[in-house]
Chains A and B, each alone.
Chain A
Amino acid sequence: MTSYARPSSEPVQDAAFHHPAFFYTTEEDYLGGVGDFVRAHADRGHPVLVAVPEERLSLLQGVFGAACEGVTWVDMRQAGRNPGRILSMLQEFADRHADRRPAIVGEPIWPDRTPAEACEATRHEALINLAFAGRHATILCPYDTALPERIRAQAHRTHPVLGGPGEERPSEHYADPLAVCRDCDEPLPEPAEPLVLHFGEEDLGGVRDAATDWAVAAGLSPRRRTDWLLAVSEATCNSVRHGGGSGTLRLWPAAGALVAETRDRGRPADPLVGRRRPDPLSAAGGRGVWMMHQLCDLVELRVLPSGLVVRLHMTLDPPPHDGAG
């Protein structure tokens, strides 16, 4: 593993914010580490948010009961399907309970996450350190040891502390969150035959229409068309407003999903843009990026020397005969 040691990447021992990664192998490990964490904080009257994959949620609820006082349960497979929207959820919970030392269990990566999702989840883990710096809060992040070595190594870089309750140690490989984000900006696979649309401000309406027509022809359900239209609209608008006045939209089908990509000359000044629920009345609060994260199943970001690349993924609903009905 590369060494990232340089002055700015020294672990910051933040007395207020605590962000350990906890590695587990068995259900007993999980109940011991995560269960003890939940119990300890609930007993002390701290508000607890448990956002973990559904099967882990059931395991914990089997012990605590679903209606455990002071504990909020969230299925991370749903709420955190797009890793880019998790941080907003965590900050919203922490904001709501800011004066009561909120405790959070956040498990953003599970074994069937795709590499693209895991990359954005790693970016999310790094950004937690920036978003929560100086705040009185604890976020415990469980990692399954069945995850690939590459992902586990990244957890060492994104968490200042490793280990479960009672056995924590500083992470030797903890890295500057911005350095981790830069490393996440790895090259994206090229699509085979995308539809390519160049646009400036005067083309925004035509590009929206073309993207909608294309998605309908590609089989996007009526239910998701509005989400698609809104997300593409905000992405292309951002290229015009913040990406040098113009951009390129590419559209292509992926496995069970549609992808819309914008490329422009933008250089986002704030790595946390769109990671906190904005005031909708303020145009300066990353409203568009936050919406993209809420509307899409995955948002991939790349800050490249040429500018910003945003890939919006929207899953096609399964055909009716595959569904429950």
Chain B
Amino acid sequence: MHGTSAIASGESAVDRHAAVVFSSDAEWADHLVAFVRAGIDRDEQVRYFADSTDPGRVTRTLDERGVDAASAVRRGQLLVITAGQTYLSGARFDPDTMIGLWHEAVEAATARGHRGLRAIGEMSWGARDIAGADRLLEYELRIHHEVFARLPLCAWCFYDRRLVPRTDLEVLAAAHLARTGIADCHDRADGPALSVAPLAGRPGFRLSGSAGYENRHVTASALAALTASPAQDVTLDLSALDHLDVAALAGIARAAHRRSAVAPVRLLGAPPALRRMLELFPELGGVMEVAGR
């Protein structure tokens, strides 16, 4: 787990995309003020994408805590806008569109002379019945490699425990390599039954838990992220996986087929069930390279 200050000062992609989990207005204000103040001090542009919070309350809170938000807004250094006006204004939430928007936003910030972009996104919309919200986990998984590893961008995803159901929140938080306000779910017996995180060192993802039918939506999100990955070589680390069923294995094969890259997907630490199923269905093995457990 990373503390707030570690996230703010961190330079690597691992630290620049963080899940910030809170359960009170006071915690929300603490995170907000620390993040915006650091951005203004570092001459970065700061964007706040509100969902459940009134944008006026964001600037008021900053003013009350000694951050001159009004001046920053006038200078164009601080933008407080709503998700509904921006990336949720289309027919549906689309990770590909979002990734394109991040590239444009960082370009716009640097064109204005800022050293980079930092952003807060309130993620409470993910718990509502919004078209495409089922792709939020895929998006969170993809942006580590497709956005943060490439751009001078630091973003905090605000997850309010009062608005996002616990299980969803834990799976979504686990998709960030930096987290604050939430314990590492893999260390707890009551953590999610299946979680996925991007690999820190190379393109790919790590699955932890059990990829059975009951967790198929999490598996599907991981495989959608795998399919979309533009990297030539991509790794699935399965060493923390207790079980996967044939549907999950077929999903891996399907994702590997659909990838634009020709290199096989590298499977690390595959559980015995995977090897046994490849004996029954050897045709699925052609698009994967299975390394030892």
A residues near B (Cβ < 8 Å) are: 201-202, 204-205, 208-209, 225-227, 229-230, 233-234, 237, 240-241, 280-281, 283, 287-288, 291, 294
Measured CA separation A226–B278 after assembly (Å): 13
Question: What is the chain B residue whose CB lies nearest that of A202?
Answer: B214
Q: Across chains A and B, which 7 residue pairs bring their CB atoms closest together, nearest first? A: A280-B281, A226-B272, A237-B213, A204-B214, A226-B276, A205-B210, A205-B193
With contacts A208-B243, A288-B246 taken as known, whether A237 is within 8 angstroms of B212 at the C-beta atoms is yes
With contacts A226-B276, A227-B276, A230-B273 taken as known, whether A280 is within 8 angstroms of B246 at the C-beta atoms is yes
B250 at the interface (CB under 8 A from A): yes
**Chain A neighbourhood of B246, CB < 8 A:** 230, 234, 280, 287-288, 291
Are B214 and A201 in contact, CB atoms less than 8 angstroms apart?
Answer: yes
**Chain A neighbourhood of B242, CB < 8 A:** 209
> Please, how many residues of chain B have a CB less than 8 angstroms from a CB on the other chain?
23
**Which of B213, B243, B283 is close to A229, meaning CB atoms less than 8 Å apart?**
B243
With contacts A208-B243, A226-B276 taken as known, whether A281 is within 8 angstroms of B212 at the C-beta atoms is no
Q: Contact mask B146-186 → A, CB, 8 Å, 1/0?
A: 00000000000000000000000000000000000000000
Measured CA separation A205–B215 after assembly (Å): 9
Measured CA separation A208–B247 after assembly (Å): 16
Within 262-293 of B, Cβ neighbours of A (below 8 Å) are at 272-273, 276-277, 280-281, 283-284
Measured CA separation A209–B214 after assembly (Å): 14
Question: What is the chain A residue whose CB lies nearest that of B272?
Answer: A226
Measured CA separation A288–B281 after assembly (Å): 12
**Which of B193, B245, B280 is close to A233, meaning CB atoms less than 8 Å apart?**
B245
B141 at the interface (CB under 8 A from A): no
B253 at the interface (CB under 8 A from A): yes
Are B250 and A230 in contact, CB atoms less than 8 angstroms apart?
Answer: no
With contacts A208-B212, A237-B245 taken as known, whether A229 is within 8 angstroms of B273 at the C-beta atoms is yes
Question: What is the chain A residue whose CB lies nearest that of B280?
Answer: A294
**Chain B neighbourhood of A204, CB < 8 A:** 212-214
Q: How far is the CB of B19 from chain A (nearest CB, A)?
A: 24
Are B212 and A205 in contact, CB atoms less than 8 angstroms apart?
Answer: yes
With contacts A226-B272, A233-B245 taken as known, whether A280 is within 8 angstroms of B214 at the C-beta atoms is no
B65 at the interface (CB under 8 A from A): no
**Chain B neighbourhood of A234, CB < 8 A:** 245-246
Q: Contact mask B242-260 → A, CB, 8 Å, 1/0?
A: 1101110110011000000
**Chain B neighbourhood of A209, CB < 8 A:** 242
Measured CA separation A233–B253 after assembly (Å): 20
Measured CA separation A293–B250 after assembly (Å): 19
**Which of B193, B214, B250, B280 is close to A281, meaning CB atoms less than 8 Å apart?**
B250
**Chain A neighbourhood of B276, CB < 8 A:** 226-227, 230
**Chain B neighbourhood of A226, CB < 8 A:** 272-273, 276
**Chain A neighbourhood of B277, CB < 8 A:** 230, 291
Are B210 and A281 in contact, CB atoms less than 8 angstroms apart?
Answer: no
Interchain residue pairs with CB less than 8 A apart (14): A201-B213, A204-B213, A205-B210, A208-B212, A227-B276, A230-B246, A230-B273, A230-B277, A237-B212, A237-B213, A281-B250, A287-B247, A287-B250, A294-B280
**Chain B neighbourhood of A280, CB < 8 A:** 246, 249-250, 253, 280-281, 283-284
Q: How far is the CB of B1 from chain A (nearest CB, A)?
A: 25
Q: How far is the CB of B218 from chain A (nearest CB, A)?
A: 12
**Chain A neighbourhood of B283, CB < 8 A:** 280
**Chain A neighbourhood of B272, CB < 8 A:** 225-226
Q: How far is the CB of A106 from chain B (nearest CB, A)?
A: 22
Given contacts A230-B277, A241-B213, A288-B246, 19 further A-B contacts (CB under 8 A): A201-B213, A204-B213, A205-B212, A205-B215, A208-B210, A208-B212, A225-B272, A226-B272, A229-B243, A233-B212, A237-B213, A237-B245, A240-B214, A280-B246, A280-B281, A281-B250, A281-B254, A287-B247, A294-B280
Q: How far is the CB of A238 from chain B (nearest CB, A)?
A: 9
Within 96-145 of B, Cβ neighbours of A (below 8 Å) are at none
Candidate in B215, B247, B253, B254 with the most chain A CB atoms within 10 angstroms: B247
Q: How far is the CB of B282 from chain A (nearest CB, A)?
A: 10
**Chain B neighbourhood of A201, CB < 8 A:** 213-214
Q: How far is the CB of B72 from chain A (nearest CB, A)?
A: 47
**Chain A neighbourhood of B214, CB < 8 A:** 201-202, 204-205, 240
Q: How far is the CB of B209 from chain A (nearest CB, A)?
A: 8
Q: Contact mask B212-251 → A, CB, 8 Å, 1/0?
A: 1111000000000000000000000000001101110110
**Chain A neighbourhood of B249, CB < 8 A:** 280
Q: How far is the CB of B184 from chain A (nearest CB, A)?
A: 20
Q: How far is the CB of B256 from chain A (nearest CB, A)?
A: 11
Candidate in B193, B212, B246 with the most chain A CB atoms within 10 angstroms: B246
